[in-house]
Structure 1
Amino acid sequence: MEILIAPNGRTWDPHSNTFSKYFGFFGKNADFVAHSVQNLGFATIATFPRYTHIRFQPRLFPTACLQRVIEILLSRPPPCIVLERIGSLFAPLEVLQNLNDALARLRALQAETLAGDELPAAPTIVTLSLDRLRDSKRASLQRAFAAWRQARAHITTRNVTEIATSPVFGGGALAWMPGRDRCLIEAWPQTYEKYGDSPLDNFLGCDVRDLPDAAYIVPTTRGYFAAASSQEPRLELIEALMTSNDGTRFWCRYERLVLPWRAGASDDFVCSVPLVRLVRRC
Structure 2
Amino acid sequence: MQARELRMLARDGKFIGPTSGFAPGLAQGNVVILPKAWADDFLVYCQKNPVACPLLSVSAPGEPLIDLLGENIDIRSDVPEYHIFRNGELAEKTHDIKDLWWGDMVTFVLGCSFSFEDALIRAGLSLRNIDCQSNVSMYRTNLSTAPSQYFNGSMVVSMRPFKPADAIRAIQITSRFPKSHGAPVHIGNPADIGIEDISNPDFGDAVPIKDGEIPVFWACGVTPQLAIANAKPPVAITHAPGKMLVTDVSNEQLSVL
> What's the TM-score bracket when you normalise by the shorter of the two chains?
under 0.3
TM-score, normalised relative to structure 2: 0.25
Larger Rg: 1
Greater helix share, 1 or 2? 1
TM-score of the pair, normalised by structure 1: 0.23
Higher relative contact order (CA 8 A, sep 6+): 2
